[in-house]
Amino acid sequence: METYNNVVLEQLPKHLKRYVVAQQYERYTALDQALWRYVMRQNYSFLKDVAYYPYIPGLKKAGLSIAHIPDLQQMNDSLKLIGWGAVTVDGFIPPAAFMEFQAHRVLVIAADIRQLEHIEYTPAPDIIHESSGHAPIIGEPDYAVYLQYFGEIGTKALSSRKDFELYEAIRHLSILKEHAGTTETELAEAENRLKIVQDNMGEPSEMALLSRLHWWTVEYGLIGSLEDPKIYGAGLLSSIGESASCMQKSVPKLPYDLNTVAYTYDITKPQPQLFVTPDFEHLMDVLNQFADTMAFRVGGKQSLEKAIDCQAVCTIVYSSGLQVSGVFKAANADQSISYIQTVGPTALACSGKQLEGHGINYHREGYGSPVGLLADSNKDLEDFSDEDLTTYGISQGKRCSLRFYSGVEVEGVVLKVVRQAGKVVLISFEDCEVYRNDRREVYFKPEWGVYDMAVGTEIISVFAGAADKDAYESIEEETEKPSVLSYTQIEDSKLLVLHAQIGTLRSGSFDAEHWTAIFGQLDSDTTDHWLALVELYEIAWAHHAYDLAESAERKLLNIITRRPNLKKLIDDGIRVAKEEPLNNH
């Protein structure tokens, strides 16, 4: 993985590096560059008045310019100065991975760029949204702290099977909407699939609720007063359509608070309302209020049951500090936890580092252990000194019997006692039997091998994923090339050639004959030529060739008569060409 001489990227864990792809800057066409330039010029024209932060200084802090698609090396050269980094990925990545990148102060940027027909907005991740939306505001220290902290909280959020189905349905629909060859039938089927999933989500998970807070702040947030808010959300900052329409009075502006988690969102449509925070500190307060309800802070049986509902890898943390990572199965019927059980590969860790010899290959068929106090002791087993252990009969090579308040009994020969940070976290037995209710419930038999008993009075935390992800997960080979085609790989190669010619005209000294030669190849009957004509209009106007600009405008007006839906885009292009002289910002 390319780290661009940025220590932030060099320190990324291996399990995140596998999502990173090479940017392959050379694959961006002149049309791609024109798309970027158009959107960014429109953004600057509008956002300089309604964005929360100074737009151009924000772009420069992130290594971006209006003139060209960002190069990841340039971005990282700038971002590393403020302790951040950026990587390119192949479109959608799982929400948990996205959050974890954010926690590591890394912006995830989709390598592709939207199609011309989706220039105003695309539901699929693209380089315009991810870089021009998220990156410029990173220079605001309070916001950068919030973004990283949100990633840390989001990494721990428990998901559900339904969340995964929804993610896949949205991902599929968004990609189809952005793909040039998608049929109406394919689109309708994907939309119907998404609706079915959305209508059958059931009770929202932690990740679903947290995603709503992310959406209404990081993506679509406003800041200031309800009467005069400013834009800071990346979804708005990168959408030349919605950044303007959202400020209209017809879009309700509500105060941002914890009640915002009740508002769902649709990634494929304009937002029916937006939320306004008075400052970034308030965002932190609301996030902490929500985090206080999450399993990683609450612990206990309720949190374990959330993990069981996930049917995915989660981690529970004993009061001793021992972490058990795996897929958890049904809990006991007691009011509190008496015994935990996993199915399939399981790993034990402390402080996020896997215990030697206790990885998924050793505990490949699952893991189980009691939780709670010993029945005849007023001291937590995790706090036993070596003398306490001996007094209680827990000595290496000797048989002992442990009875818990829950009724669970462990009988076996002690093999080893493991301590971490002064706490007893694990006791291993051989020739061991674990049972309850006079052996009517048997949890472990002697013939199954060594029994490794976790030590801890209670479960104090439960969170998503493995404690030591690099050790737990099977790290695949890093992908060097995107697995999908660039969004703008279209059949009209002539259009790409025309934009390449315009790029040459733009980068050199102004030549009216060269301009006229390109102009003569553009046809107002071919409505996809509108952006090329806007580019020629900009160049002519900037060089005071007003007769040439008028010629381009006449063809643009003809295109509007054929495709009225292009009127705003064309009118805005002409307006910005007149108001904002061409420069590289």
Residue 95 gets the label, from left (phi > 0), alpha (psi -120 to 50) or beta, of: alpha
Q: Is 499 annotated as a binding residue?
A: no
Q: What is the 3-state secondary structure (H, E, C) of 137-172?
A: HHHCHHHHHHHHHHHHHHHHCCCCHHHHHHHHHHHH
Looking only at the bridges linking them, the beta strands covering 274-277 and 253-255 are parallel
Q: What is the 3-state secondary structure (H, E, C) of 236-271?
A: HHCCCCHHHHCCCCCCCEEECCHHHHHCCCCCCCCC
Token couple for 567: 């009127």
Looking only at the bridges linking them, the beta strands covering 409-420 and 399-403 are antiparallel
Find all residues with CB under 8 Å of 271, minimum gap 6, and list them.
220, 242, 246, 251, 265
Q: Is 134 annotated as a binding residue?
A: yes
Give 351: exposed, middle or buried? Use CB within 10 Å, 0-12, 13-18, 19+. exposed
In this structure, are residues 417 and 440 in contact, taking their beta carbons and an 8 Å threshold? no
Backbone angles phi, psi at 560, to 5 degrees: -60, -40
Beta bridge partners of 255: 276
In this structure, are residues 279 and 223 in contact, taking their beta carbons and an 8 Å threshold? yes
CA–CA dist 31, 325 (Å, integer): 48
In this structure, are residues 364 and 337 in contact, taking their beta carbons and an 8 Å threshold? no
Q: 464, 468, 459, 460: which is closest to 158 by C-alpha?
A: 464
Find all residues with CB under 8 Å of 513, minimum gap 6, and list them.
none
Q: Which amino acid is at 546?
A: Y
Q: Is 129 annotated as a binding residue?
A: yes
Beta bridge partners of 275: 221, 254
In this structure, are residues 159 and 95 in contact, taking their beta carbons and an 8 Å threshold? yes
CA distances from residue 204 to 105, 212, 286, 325 in whole angstroms, order as listed: 27, 10, 18, 23
CA distances from residue 152 to 87, 101, 484, 522 in whole angstroms, order as listed: 18, 9, 30, 51
SS3 539: helix
SS3 112: coil
Residue 385: CB atoms within 10 A of its CB come to 11
CA 396 to chain centre: 48
Binding site per annotation, positions for Fe cation:
129, 134, 219
Binding site per annotation, positions:
129, 134, 219
